[in-house]
Chain A
């Protein structure tokens, strides 16, 4: 790379939108976030996965300046969150985990009043509210109070509200929890639309399909720590391989076979999961010899990675 013909045309390599290093949060004697480091690049959709209580909400609350951090370094847009909380918050849009819509106000008023919190002028607030109601397909319900809206509409309105300040970074805490499939797909389409326009997105989710579909990169957290981080396809390939065989009611002979070949697997008693990595040839052998009750060959998913890394016990 010798050519410096048009240096001003070359975009300056932008720094990360979020940069956390050794970030920590302690509640009493509970370490909710334990020395985590990660970075989110501009224009990327970054996901945080993890079982209940993993520390996802706590992490993002520190990022949008809601919870003070206990230790470490945290920069958003290259600014220290402790020193510039207002400047940072003015440039972020947030959908919190719980519904925080204003039940005293209509859908439209919710957007207008919220815009005023950002010191956006009244005329502009009105214009943006109308635009966003249209974008989220809520125009026909603009005069409804939030209690009169369906779960899907509430989520769309919360998303609209998070966009009212034209943020550069959108933070979403479980954006589709509790929605029916239609409503989830609608939210996903909107988010894909926003990402295509260059918005950076940070989201938490319990849905692996959501993470695989939306996220460029993601990390899996457990007990306040990061277990893995990377692109969804990479994570699947590295941790569980491409394909998986699930055997129902496996017999002792199969277990013996697995031990002999030293195959990566997980024994759940009534089910056996064999991670094939790159060895598809094994399927035919296993199927021919050990499949009594039936076995399935399927593509590995994020869910397999998640369960392999975080275990199968219930949390909390």
Chain B
């Protein structure tokens, strides 16, 4: 019962991942549509509409076009959304409405393996959606290769961080409607102010500091570094941040889910 108890995790968590993969492959065609259309909409609205007003953006010593500036932000947001929504709404539906976890708990799977499998599945969805979206964006010549390929493993790592965060909320919300709260208070502000559609430097100092504490800011930094090929010390900072963030929220999610489900 106590936090001191060790986690009961073996490689069997892959069975949970496989369950989700199998269910996903049943309807993959629908799953593929958003990551194809989303970047097209954004690039059209911002790239064609806004870029003319904005002109070029000064980024790490060079001038880049507004389209090149926001393309990696779209990828980072996509990474965040896929894992976060998968491990909030979708995991909650499986847990509460489908009772999939209840069925699993009557098999040799441990609760920790179920949650681990769910989070790794969330990261996998981030990876799949990123690969599709990145392919679309690359058609516009907005990503610099080979550094751009690093975005794929990053999608998985970022997916783990946001999936663990989502699963933590799944462990504590009283009902599915209450996911609105972390979305409104956390996801939306990150989406708008995480260095996504305008450079962080334009914000007041205190706001920059707040933004710097949030995971999407670091994820955008990383996707932008990889997609422009302009790598510097902030890459290491960002990776360390995401690792630490995951290492905090993964055990926290396990603990909250254990408290929620073991009765």
Contact = CB atoms under 8 A, between A and B. Distances in A.
B11 to A, nearest CB: 10
A283 to B, nearest CB: 50
Interface string B71-112: 000000000000000000000000000111011111111100
A162 to B, nearest CB: 8
Interface in A88-103: 89-90, 92, 94, 96, 98-103
A79 to B, nearest CB: 13
Interface string B98-140: 1110111111111000000000000000000000000000000
Contacts of A6: none
B260 interface: no
Contacts of A109: 22
Interface in B6-62: 12, 15, 18-19, 22-23, 26
Contacts of B107: 89-90, 114, 117-118, 165
Contacts of A306: none
Contact of B262 (A27, A68, A99, A100): A68
B93 to A, nearest CB: 10
A119 B12 contact: yes
A86 interface: yes
B174 interface: no
Contacts of A99: 99
A89 B108 contact: yes
A27 B263 CA distance: 8
A14 to B, nearest CB: 23
A102 B12 contact: no
B26 A100 contact: no
B108 A117 contact: yes
B108 A98 contact: no
A98 B107 CA distance: 16
B100 A67 contact: no
B106 A67 contact: no
A90 B102 CA distance: 15
Interface string A67-87: 110000000000000000010
A113 B15 CA distance: 8
A38 interface: no
Nearest to A64: B106
B99 to A, nearest CB: 4
Q: Which 9 A-B pairs have the closest CB atoms?
A: A104-B23, A100-B103, A94-B106, A117-B107, A100-B99, A86-B108, A90-B108, A89-B108, A116-B15
A114 B23 contact: no
Interface of B: 12, 15, 18-19, 22-23, 26, 98-100, 102-110, 262-263
A105 interface: yes
Given A113-B19, A116-B18, A117-B15, A104 B26 contact: yes
A66 interface: yes
B108 A118 contact: yes
B111 to A, nearest CB: 10
User: Could you say which of A65, A94, A102 has the most chain B C-beta atoms within 10 Å of its C-beta?
Assistant: A102
Nearest to A61: B263
Contact of B19 (A65, A90, A101, A102): A102
6 contacts: A27-B263, A96-B103, A102-B98, A104-B23, A105-B23, A119-B15
Interface in A17-71: 27, 64-68
Contacts of B100: 100, 102
A256 B242 CA distance: 85
Contacts of A165: 107
Contact of A96 (B12, B19, B106, B108): B106
A60 B105 CA distance: 13
